[in-house]
């Protein structure tokens, strides 16, 4: 099974989801993440995932066009913008959409920003952990 997680910039939400998909479902699926644009992997995303024991420091920010040749079984969009701009993938691709808040837009002190990153990380973790891949 090939899974693509798609977000606007492939810097935060899709990186978190890719990390948890690999952690929870990596033995039954090949996991990719991409963006409609590429913004680089957000250092705060790397930090909050490390706090939960998952290393995403080697992840890269990729453009969705790099993966158009892969026969995906599932495309998971994790923000409304990516869902609206998602390209058409050939074949019987199942699309699932779940909009998560963008932690990169958080403002305030460093602790307030990191709190938002942790909140979104936990939301993504709960969602991915319960994703019924066997029913796809």
Q: pTM for the whole thing?
A: 0.92
Among 6, 7, 12, 82, the active-site one is: 7
pLDDT in tens, 111-120: 999 999 999 9
**Taking the domain 2-135, which CATH number applies?**
3.40.50.2300
* Catalytic (active site) residue 12: no
What pLDDT, on a 0 to 100 scale, did the predictor assign at position 11? Answer: 92
Sheet bearing 2-7, strands edge to edge: 30-35, 2-7, 74-77, 94-97
The pLDDT score that the predictor gives to residue 82 is 76
Our CA angle for 50, 27, 30, nearest 5°, is 85
Domain parsing of the chain, residue ranges: 2-135
Nearest Cα neighbor of 59 from 10, 113, 125 is 10
Catalytic residue among 12, 76, 79, 82: 79
**pLDDT confidence tier of residue 5, bands split at 50, 70 and 90:** very high
């Amino acid at each position: 099974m090939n899974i693509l997680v798609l977000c606007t910039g492939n810097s935060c939400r899709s990186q978190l989801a890719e990390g948890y998909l690999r952690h929870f479902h990596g033995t039954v699926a090949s996991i990719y993440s991409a963006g409609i644009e590429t913004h680089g992997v957000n250092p705060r995303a790397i930090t909050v995932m490390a706090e939960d024991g998952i290393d995403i420091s080697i992840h890269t920010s990729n453009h969705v066009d790099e993966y158009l040749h892969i026969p995906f079984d599932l495309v998971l969009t994790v923000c409304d913008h990516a869902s609206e701009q998602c390209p058409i993938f050939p074949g019987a691709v199942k699309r699932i959409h779940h909009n998560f808040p963008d932690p990169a837009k958080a403002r305030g002190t460093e602790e307030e920003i990191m709190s938002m990153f942790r909140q979104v990380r936990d939301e993504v973790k709960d969602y991915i952990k319960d994703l019924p891949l066997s029913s796809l």
